Copies of this chain bind each other. A is one copy, B any other.
Amino acid sequence: NHAIEFNSLFTPAFMVDVDKAKRNAQRMIELCQKLGVQLSPHMKTHKTLECADIMTGGSQRCIVVSTLAEACFYADHGYDDFLYAYSFPFDKVLSRLDLFQILLDHPDALEQLRKRPLKDAIAKTEGVELTGVYAHCGNTYYCTGVEQIQAVAQETTKLTLQFMEKLKAVGITCKSSIGSTPTCSHPVKDMAQLSEVHPGNYVFFDVQQSTIRSCCPEDVAVRVLTRVIGHCPHRNQLLIDCGWPGISLDGAGKLPTGYAVIEGHPNLKLLSMTQEHGRVEPISGQLDYSKYPLGSLLTLIPVRSCATAVMHPVYHVHSKGRLVGKWTPTRGW
């Protein structure tokens, strides 16, 4: 009985359904195989070894990172072929890998890069090579529905391919890489002409992704487990033991259900939080406190899994209702 097993956890606890994460990852691998483009999964959502393994299908190659801390963490554990997808990281370069690619968006950045002694050596011995053009279609997050997402995918692909043509006209051929989770979840045919895509969130998904239709609600692989710790009938509210360090303030509570969706309780709203408390109230009507005894568990579905995962030093992993392990993400910069 999973309820009993989960009951042993200290709350708030970040929970990963590893079967869903694997299914999400496998689906993206297959979508990219069908398109014939390289999948370079982004690590920023989870920052764990276990999930990186799932997303790379065990190859431990060809990943995108957002911090030098992630780069070091993965390099320490045998990963290689990194794209540090960050503009102007001239102070942060890792020289011990076979392949460490960075983003530059200004000629001054190249100048700065050449100035640093370590990097100067790299530039002199092996040269700085333009490996590709990178575009992240973050504007897909303002879409609703597959049609709008695919329109952005089409537009981004078109502009990127036009730019590749211009480069070609001046004698430069290199890779092209685009892709957010929404566009890669619903790729358009022309994306087959790109070299690579670099989505990241899809391994977990979240309420935002299912709201804009990147995924179905059933695909969301993560939750925050919390406990009822107070009854406040004078305010028609419950207190739970999840404050903002447990779920994050992302989304600013703009959902009808506030800072999260409370699974199985569509009439409940996570109204506000302090550091260790959340205030929950019904969207309409009076709370029936007998349904929420002190100490009982509630399950929050994060609005943005990237923001929620960052708050947790450990993820509790479960499969078929049983706890099967813990994952420890890397943190910091």
Contact = CB atoms under 8 A, between A and B. Distances in A.
Interface of A: 10-13, 44, 66-68, 86-92, 105-106, 108-109, 112, 138, 227, 229-231, 239, 241, 244-246, 248-250, 252, 274-276, 294-295, 306-307, 310-314, 331-333
A155 B89 CA distance: 53
Given A10-B68, A106-B294, A295-B90, A332 B314 contact: yes
B239 A87 contact: yes
A interface secondary structure, majority: loop
Contact of A86 (B12, B245, B276): B276
A272 to B, nearest CB: 12
A91 B276 contact: no
Given A67-B276, A88-B294, A90-B295, A12 B106 contact: no
Nearest to A231: B106
Give the most central of A10, A92, A108, A333: most B CB within 10 Å.
A333
- In order of increasing CB-CB distance, the 9 nearest A-B pairs are A249-B249, A313-B332, A88-B229, A313-B331, A10-B333, A245-B310, A66-B276, A108-B294, A87-B230
Contacts of A87: 229-230, 239
A135 to B, nearest CB: 15
